[in-house]
Amino acid sequence: MNDTPKTLDDLRHEIDRIDDAMHRLLIERGGIIDALVRVKRTGETGSAFRPGREADMMRRLVARHSGRLPFSAVENIWRTIISGFTHVQAPYAVHVDMSSDPAGMRDLARFQMGFDVPLIAYDSADAVVSAVSASQGDLGLIGLGVTRSPWWLNIGPGKPQVMARLPFLIYPDRPAATPAVVIAKPLGDAAVDEIAVVAADFAAAPPAGMFDVITETVGGDRWRGLVAIPSARVPEGAVRVGSYAQPIDLADTAAPAAAAG
Ligand SMILES: O=C(O)C(=O)C[C@]1(C(=O)O)C=C[C@@H](O)C=C1
């Protein structure tokens, strides 16, 4: 066995070897894009965004991760890769509601979509809904919490819908943790139906804990909000305005990423 301590040069050679391999793999990943676009018929729908597939990839990443690199860095690298490959398949912009917590929304948009996707800022959620409605395959990012305007009245069947809930991976001190939803037209097989988003309109606020309220109006003569319900349990006649993959709280998993993160 050779016990000679490695020099700085040796160690940097090892890092170069690993970086070369990672870069080669990224180039190889890019090589399958043309075939993917044909198989998915992305040209016909104009959107490559598949949040269900992205959720599965993130779940596998969580299950596999170990080592020194914080999980947030790994998540961010993969978000940049996935978002970059989504954009090269069919260019899109992300319209962001900056009416509340603009710094948090910008961080979230960049963490989630990287820096190659054009980001367009708006001062209301309604303006984001209009922009996504007028586009082919653009995405909208709308913050959750309380709102003056029930912006969801203009989404639903035949229109843009809620397609993802962010952050998808929940862990302590995570960056880009501002709660938000992604809206988009559910083109191709893009929709993922685990948790349904239902528009509710009641004379008064429902008792605390009755629903998983993800956003609600303040003021006004009625209580309006969006509630999240497991898709299999949505009552008949409910007004569905989208659905998303169930986010993962790493505190509830035994995944190594929970410890590494
Ligand atoms: O799997 C697909 O459908 C892809 O388009 C590939 C890919 C990726 O880069 O991994 C890109 C966009 C989708 O949202 C999901 C995954």
Q: What is the pLDDT of residue 258?
A: 56
Quote the tokens at residue 29. 């990943």
Quote the ligand 1 centre to 40 CA distance (angstroms).
10
Residue 147 near ligand 1, beta carbon < 6 Å: no
Which long-range contacts (C-beta less than 8 Å, at least 24 apart) are formed by 85-90? Answer: 85/29, 85/30, 85/33, 85/48, 86/48, 86/49, 87/116, 87/117, 88/30, 88/33, 89/33, 89/36, 89/37, 89/40, 89/42, 89/48, 90/37, 90/42, 90/43, 90/45, 90/46, 90/47, 90/48, 90/137
In a domain, 42, yes or no: yes
Using pLDDT thresholds of 50, 70 and 90, give the confidence band for residue 227. Answer: very high
pLDDT exceeds cutoff 90 at 255: no
Residue 114 located in a structural domain: yes
Tell whether 256 is covered by a domain: no
**Long-range contacts of residues 117-121, Cβ cutoff 8 Å, at least 24 apart:** 117/83, 117/87, 117/92, 117/93, 118/93, 118/94, 119/93, 119/94, 120/93, 120/94, 120/95, 120/96, 121/96
Instruction: Using a pLDDT cut of 90, give the percent of the chain over it.
Output: 82
> pLDDT band for position 120 (50/70/90)?
very high
Output the six-digit token pair for 1.
């066995």
Please indicate, yes or no, if residue 154 is contained in any of the structural domains: yes
| Closest protein CA for atom 7 of ligand 1 | 82
Cα 53 to ligand 1 centre (Å):
7
Question: Does residue 49's CB lie within 6 angstroms of at least one atom of ligand 1?
Answer: yes
In a domain, 101, yes or no: yes
> Is the pLDDT at 243 greater than 80, yes or no?
yes
Mean pLDDT computed over every residue of the chain: 93
Phi, psi of 72 (to 5 degrees): -60, -35
Ligand 1 atom with the smallest distance to the CA of 40 is 3
In a domain, 95, yes or no: yes
- The whole domain housing 61 covers 12-251
Q: Is the CB of 184 under 6 A from ligand 1?
A: no
Residue 54 CA to ligand 1 center (angstroms) comes to: 7
Across the range 107-132, mean pLDDT stands at 97
Nearest atom, ligand 1, residue 82 CA: 9
Tell me the best of 53, 139, 182, 192 to mutate to test the pocket of ligand 1, counting ligand atoms within 8 Å of each CB and taking the most: 53
| Nearest-atom index, ligand 1, CA of 51 | 14
Tell me, what's the pLDDT at 188? 78
Total-model pTM? 0.93
Per-residue pLDDT reduced to its tens digit, 184-194: 998 878 888 89
Predicted local confidence at residue 212, as pLDDT = 94
- Please give the tally of structural domains in the chain: 1
Residue 9 has pLDDT above 90, yes or no: yes
**Measured from the CB, is residue 53 less than 6 Å from ligand 1?**
yes
pLDDT in the model for residue 31? 94
Examine residue 136 and state whether it is found in any structural domain, yes or no.
Answer: yes
Predicted confidence (pLDDT) at residue 230 exceeds the cutoff of 80: yes
pLDDT of 260 = 53
Would you say 231 and 244 are in contact if contact means Cβ atoms under 8 Å apart? no
* Mean pLDDT (whole number) for 181-204: 92
Model confidence over 32-67: pLDDT tens digits? Answer: 998 999 998 888 888 899 999 999 999 999 999 999
Cβ of 112 closer than 6 Å to ligand 1, yes or no, is no
Residue 87 placed within a domain: yes
